[in-house]
Chains A and B, each alone.
Chain A
Amino acid sequence: MQYPSEHVPISDGTFTLLRNLIHERIGLYYDMSRRDVLMDRLSPRIIELGLGSSLDYYYLLKYSDTESQEWSYVVDVLSVPETYFWREMDQVQALVEYLVPKLVAAKPDSPLRIWSAACATGEEPLTIAMALNEAGWFDRTAIEINASDASPRAIAKARQGLYRERSFRSLPRTLWDRYFVERNGVWQISPEIHSRVRWAVANLMAPHEIAGFANAPIIFCRNVFLYFSQEAMSIVVHHFYHCMPAPGFLFLGAAESLLRINTPFELQEIGQSFVYVKR
């Protein structure tokens, strides 16, 4: 082992190169104060590959396609999969109680498309599916739920539909019992709800990967821009705006906003939550 310590050393210059490359390809931004966080994540891989330095790893990434196995690894280790069912439910309730009735009434013959753009291990789109099912919407109209994440590992877990107890910290017990079955200490989502969601790996910074989803009138993109630079956020939001039909509704996380970027989205209060609206 070439590095007895767990962090592969990295100079300021190489950190800047690596950080900028990651920002350019997948949007995640690491300032100098988060240098240790980045190296904490990447060092095991550099050691595993037996590379001589972090600069070698920079070149390996630089001269690999973003779709390559190496970039998938980077996305996997840098993604933040911590999420849970029934999180920030005001927004999902606004969707079920206000937006779905409005959009279905406007286009009763077309399926309603919903996209969970940074779904991690799937708790968000499954929450949406459970809430819509509870309100009886699947019996009344055609609804397509697409869910994607840049991390192949996260999507693989979402496809399995198996969850540990910590994912249920906010889910009412009745729903937990109704939609999940325990298997060896983990819980399996009901196939009926799981099959309502179509899963895909998609990098928000790659327009061709998200083009097929971003034309939905409802996009949930929560708790991902926290880790993006303003510039990367602006690129993604503009792409959403360009692809979404009008009216279109964009949900961000409670700690996120579009205040600092120039965007034609309009912030509106719908139900008990704030939503960015394309008119």
Chain B
Amino acid sequence: MSLLASLDEAARLRVIKELADEQSGEQTGILIEALNDESWQVRRAAVDALARSCRPETLAALIAAFREQQHSLSVINGVLQVLSLAEIDVITPLVELLSAHDADLRVSAALALGDQNDPRAIPALIGALRDPDTNVRYHAIEALGKLRATEATDDLLGVAESRNFFLAFPALEALARIGDQRGASRIVPLLENDMLRVPAVETLGQLGDEQVVKPLVELLQTGRAPASSIARALATLHERYERSYGEGEFIADLVRRFIDDSGIRRLLDGLDETHGQDVRALTLIVGWLHGPTVERALVRLLGDTTVRREVLAALVRQGARVTRQLVAQLDAVDAETRQAAAVALGRIGDASAVPALIRLLEEDDDLAITAARALAAIGDRRAFDALLHQLEHPTSAVRQAAIAALNSLGHPALPKHVKRLLSDSNRLVRESAVRIAGYFGFEECVNLLFERCADDDERVRRVAIEHLPYLEDERVLPMLASALRYETPQVRAAAARAFAHIEGGESLPYLLTALGDPDPWVRYFAVSSLGRHAFPEALAALSQLAQYDPANQVRVAALKALGQIGGMRAVAVLAPFTSCGDADLERTALQALGRVGHPDALPPLLAALGSPGIERRVEVIEALSMRRETAIVEALQLEVTSSHEQRVKQAAIAALLRIGTAEAVATLIALSDDRACREECITALASLDASKIEWIARGLEHPRTTVRCAIVEALARMRSPHASEQLARALDDAEPAVRLAAISAFGHLSISHAEYKLAHLALRDSIPAVRRAAQVALQQKVR
């Protein structure tokens, strides 16, 4: 410190940065002392320097500092940060510190172990649950929660059941974080404990199964816990059942079965007293129920944007019973309420709301749009004339909504009216009519559509040109060619876009000519259309544009088109753009390389995976997911295991899912052993299509119990007979935890593939818990 003490902050930072490159024993000491510097920037620089070159001797020095300077919060924090960042084995020395004489040191060790994401720490941390010092036990509990240590479930339940005020709370939190559902039944009795009731409710929401619905609803009815906490737990349970098994409605059914008037009243009172996120959970639960008071409460919440989704879903579930109340809300004072009422009426689909919704078409733009959408959803032809009238509305979004509604009404008189409107004196009406006629391709309107390509109004011409490719008529190609050559820039751009939809190679010469258009957007769309056709003849011209066009958007489009055409020459043009410094060009080049099947495209993509920015790495991962090579699967596996960024991990898992080869599936199976991404891997595996069930089921032979349990979960979520057939194999697993997971999974599935095995387990399994679970599963199915 004496060396640094005399320097100002900038100089100290400089010294630290120099020392980072050439660490010796003495310099390591200076860096460790700098962890106690008054400037956070100096402390941060010291942490980075120590982490970057952390050798065994550095580790020894850090541990010594940890022991000796444990009263300096800065040093302790700094050492912990270095340990977290360093890529060397820190578990062994930290586990040793859990046996240190000093309790503060043991606390710090437990803290650090919780941040290491290394399951080797779990046995020692479970041992620390018996530490004589309460603080050590507290931090060991938290660390086990962070590590999602299923091995610790029983011990943590023991801590929760001890009802020790200081430790039972974190134990329940840790159990919720670990998510081992076996613990739920032992938590239910804690609902009787005044002190632990609320955290127990929340933990049951995270861990429980359908068995906890009844005790939670009964608790709601006693009023001994806040309605919002119970609603949150039930909502969490519902969300988990829906996500995992598509059975959220089952939880709602159970709530309806068990709740009485006092429970409903408490929920409604809760709605009046609660704000923020809790309102959402309460609204969800109230929405499962029926009755006039429930309906009134839901209608009252219409204007609350924070619960819009839940209220709408609930009102739609109430059906036509609430139509009259909703129609009344169309005259509410605030716009949010009126909008929501119109949306709900559209989703309910009760035709008695049609006259009121037609009146709403005369209101402000947003309401007119919502009303048109609602009328489209109801599909009542009484709205036809009013919607036709909207085709001259000055706001384009309102016209669009009316057009969409008219298209969905399917009124038999539509072609006749549209034919008339194609010659209307109002240009907005003609434009709208062109959109409808072009969408349906009404035979009686074809000639008029061609006439509108020469309309006085530029917008009408543009829209007519856009719709030409969908007509089967020999006049289409010459008309588009003429528009591309002689029209205004906007219409030329429309023609360039339209050429993308002309089948065959006839569009090539016109589009190549358009690459020299003076307007950048005409060039942009001509390039895009060439890319869509993937004309290899355009490669040279597109390469030129990619490199030299003065408009950046044209260069972007050219890179994309080169990726669509593919081949070695395209790769040669694309590769340098992956690090050209322009975000749009770089991103597009990466995506294009991902699309190109050529092997030369792979090295620049893998190189870009080392980019520093998270966004860029995610983009590279998405580009890689378009290819199938083994090297990519390996690179993605490394991203999942080594990246500190959750978004990068998630993108890599999504990429493996998209690749979907046997290798990629095997990698997802292996990665499910990592507690930090287990759930994402299970979700990914479960979303694979049924043809890949055999590959997934290979995970049932994995040596790791946690992996086999994950595969059980994934197969259960697939909800297919073939997946259930494979799942039944897990009932023979040597490990009781896997058998229990499989039995639990069959609780949500047909047991036809497993009935005999379940009966066998119920009678003969050597483990009592397995026998009991199998008996319960069989009894549930009988009920």
A62 touches B466 (CB 8 A): no
Q: Give CA–CA (A134, B422) in the complex, Å.
A: 54
Q: Give CA–CA (A4, B470) in the complex, Å.
A: 14
B335 touches A1 (CB 8 A): no
When C-beta atoms are compared, the residue in chain A nearest to B440 turns out to be A1
Contacts of B418 in A (CB 8 A): none
Is B333 among interface residues, defined by CB-CB distance under 8 A?
Answer: yes
Contacts of B520 in A (CB 8 A): 63
Q: Give CA–CA (A1, B439) in the complex, Å.
A: 5
Docked complex: B512-527 residues within 8 A CB-CB of A: 520-521, 524
Mask for B602-644, Cβ within 8 A of A = 1, else 0?
A: 0000000000000100110010000000000000000000000
* Given A6-B373, A77-B397: A50 and B553 interface contact (C-beta under 8 Å): no
Contacts of B336 in A (CB 8 A): 82
Is A212 among interface residues, defined by CB-CB distance under 8 A?
Answer: no
Is A183 among interface residues, defined by CB-CB distance under 8 A?
Answer: no
Is B68 among interface residues, defined by CB-CB distance under 8 A?
Answer: no
Which stretch from B4-12, B310-318, B401-409 is at the chain A interface?
B401-409
Q: Give CA–CA (A1, B528) in the complex, Å.
A: 19
Q: Which of B400, B462, B494, B551 has its CB near the most chain A CB atoms (within 10 A)?
A: B400
* Given A1-B435, A13-B619, A62-B584: A44 and B396 interface contact (C-beta under 8 Å): yes
B333 touches A169 (CB 8 A): yes
Contacts of A269 in B (CB 8 A): none
Is B21 among interface residues, defined by CB-CB distance under 8 A?
Answer: no
Docked complex: B381-432 residues within 8 A CB-CB of A: 396-397, 400-401, 403-404, 407
Mask for A62-89, Cβ within 8 A of B = 1, else 0?
A: 1100000000000001000010000000
Is B181 among interface residues, defined by CB-CB distance under 8 A?
Answer: no
Contacts of A63 in B (CB 8 A): 520, 551-553
Contacts of A176 in B (CB 8 A): none
* Given A50-B463, A50-B497, A62-B584: A6 and B407 interface contact (C-beta under 8 Å): no
A172 to chain B, nearest CB (A): 16
Contacts of B552 in A (CB 8 A): 63
A35 to chain B, nearest CB (A): 13
B333 touches A82 (CB 8 A): no
Contacts of A98 in B (CB 8 A): none
* Given A59-B556, A62-B553: A1 and B403 interface contact (C-beta under 8 Å): yes
Within the complex, which residue of B400, B407, B622 is in contact with A47, where a contact is CB–CB below 8 Å? Answer: B400
A50 touches B500 (CB 8 A): no
B407 touches A1 (CB 8 A): yes
Is A207 among interface residues, defined by CB-CB distance under 8 A?
Answer: no
When C-beta atoms are compared, the residue in chain A nearest to B338 turns out to be A166
B407 touches A44 (CB 8 A): no
Is B438 among interface residues, defined by CB-CB distance under 8 A?
Answer: yes
B466 touches A50 (CB 8 A): yes
Docked complex: B493-534 residues within 8 A CB-CB of A: 494, 497, 500, 520-521, 524, 528
A186 to chain B, nearest CB (A): 12
Is B272 among interface residues, defined by CB-CB distance under 8 A?
Answer: no
Q: Give CA–CA (A6, B497) in the complex, Å.
A: 21
Mask for B570-595, Cβ within 8 A of A = 1, else 0?
A: 00000000000000100000000000
When C-beta atoms are compared, the residue in chain A nearest to B305 turns out to be A37
B500 to chain A, nearest CB (A): 7
A6 touches B584 (CB 8 A): no
Docked complex: B536-570 residues within 8 A CB-CB of A: 551-553, 556-557
Docked complex: A40-56 residues within 8 A CB-CB of B: 44-45, 47-48, 50-52, 56
Is B273 among interface residues, defined by CB-CB distance under 8 A?
Answer: no
Within the complex, which residue of B369, B373, B438, B622 is in contact with A13, where a contact is CB–CB below 8 Å? Answer: B622
A82 touches B334 (CB 8 A): yes
When C-beta atoms are compared, the residue in chain A nearest to B466 turns out to be A50
B333 touches A166 (CB 8 A): yes
When C-beta atoms are compared, the residue in chain A nearest to B490 turns out to be A49
B407 touches A4 (CB 8 A): yes
Docked complex: A4-34 residues within 8 A CB-CB of B: 4, 6, 13, 16
A82 touches B335 (CB 8 A): yes
When C-beta atoms are compared, the residue in chain A nearest to B501 turns out to be A2
Contacts of A48 in B (CB 8 A): 396-397, 400
B556 touches A50 (CB 8 A): no
Q: Which of A4, A52, A164 has its CB near the most chain B CB atoms (within 10 A)?
A: A52
A242 to chain B, nearest CB (A): 27
Q: Which secondary structure characterizes the binding site on chain B? A: helix
Contacts of A16 in B (CB 8 A): 615
Q: Give CA–CA (A18, B397) in the complex, Å.
A: 20
A44 touches B524 (CB 8 A): no
B497 to chain A, nearest CB (A): 6
When C-beta atoms are compared, the residue in chain A nearest to B396 turns out to be A48
A65 to chain B, nearest CB (A): 14
When C-beta atoms are compared, the residue in chain B nearest to A42 turns out to be B397
B210 to chain A, nearest CB (A): 29
Within the complex, which residue of B400, B438, B439 is in contact with A44, where a contact is CB–CB below 8 Å? Answer: B400
A225 to chain B, nearest CB (A): 16
Mask for B235-246, Cβ within 8 A of A = 1, else 0?
A: 000000000000
Contacts of B401 in A (CB 8 A): 6, 44
Contacts of B463 in A (CB 8 A): 50
Q: Give CA–CA (A77, B369) in the complex, Å.
A: 12
B92 to chain A, nearest CB (A): 41
A60 to chain B, nearest CB (A): 8
Docked complex: B194-229 residues within 8 A CB-CB of A: none
Contacts of A51 in B (CB 8 A): 497
B212 to chain A, nearest CB (A): 28
Contacts of A56 in B (CB 8 A): 528
Mask for B458-481, Cβ within 8 A of A = 1, else 0?
A: 000011001000000000000000
When C-beta atoms are compared, the residue in chain B nearest to A51 turns out to be B497
Contacts of A13 in B (CB 8 A): 618-619, 622
Within the complex, which residue of B373, B404, B500, B619 is in contact with A52, where a contact is CB–CB below 8 Å? Answer: B500
Q: Give CA–CA (A60, B493) in the complex, Å.
A: 12
B497 touches A59 (CB 8 A): no
When C-beta atoms are compared, the residue in chain B nearest to A3 turns out to be B404
When C-beta atoms are compared, the residue in chain A nearest to B459 turns out to be A48
Within the complex, which residue of A6, A45, A169 is in contact with B396, where a contact is CB–CB below 8 Å? Answer: A45
When C-beta atoms are compared, the residue in chain B nearest to A47 turns out to be B400
B462 touches A50 (CB 8 A): yes
B415 to chain A, nearest CB (A): 16
Mask for B162-204, Cβ within 8 A of A = 1, else 0?
A: 0000000000000000000000000000000000000000000
Q: Give CA–CA (A1, B494) in the complex, Å.
A: 13
Contacts of B396 in A (CB 8 A): 44-45, 48
Q: Give CA–CA (A202, B397) in the complex, Å.
A: 24
A21 to chain B, nearest CB (A): 11
A1 touches B438 (CB 8 A): yes
Contacts of B335 in A (CB 8 A): 82, 166
Q: Give CA–CA (A48, B557) in the complex, Å.
A: 21
28 contacts between A and B (CB under 8 A): A1-B403, A1-B404, A1-B407, A1-B435, A1-B439, A4-B407, A6-B400, A13-B618, A16-B615, A44-B369, A44-B400, A45-B396, A47-B400, A48-B396, A48-B397, A48-B400, A50-B462, A50-B463, A51-B497, A59-B524, A59-B556, A60-B521, A62-B553, A63-B520, A63-B552, A82-B334, A82-B335, A169-B333
User: B residues engaging A (CB < 8 A)?
Assistant: 333-336, 364, 369, 373, 396-397, 400-401, 403-404, 407, 435, 438-439, 462-463, 466, 494, 497, 500, 520-521, 524, 528, 551-553, 556-557, 584, 615, 618-619, 622
User: A residues engaging B (CB < 8 A)?
Assistant: 1, 4, 6, 13, 16, 44-45, 47-48, 50-52, 56, 59-60, 62-63, 77, 82, 164, 166, 169
Closest A-B pairs by Cβ, 7 of them: A44-B397, A1-B439, A44-B400, A50-B466, A59-B553, A82-B335, A48-B396
Using A4-B407, A52-B500, A82-B335 as known contacts, list a sample of 17 further A-B pairs with CB atoms less than 8 Å apart, ordered by residue number in A. Answer: A1-B407, A1-B435, A4-B404, A16-B615, A44-B400, A44-B401, A45-B396, A47-B400, A48-B400, A50-B462, A50-B466, A50-B497, A52-B497, A59-B557, A62-B584, A63-B552, A166-B335
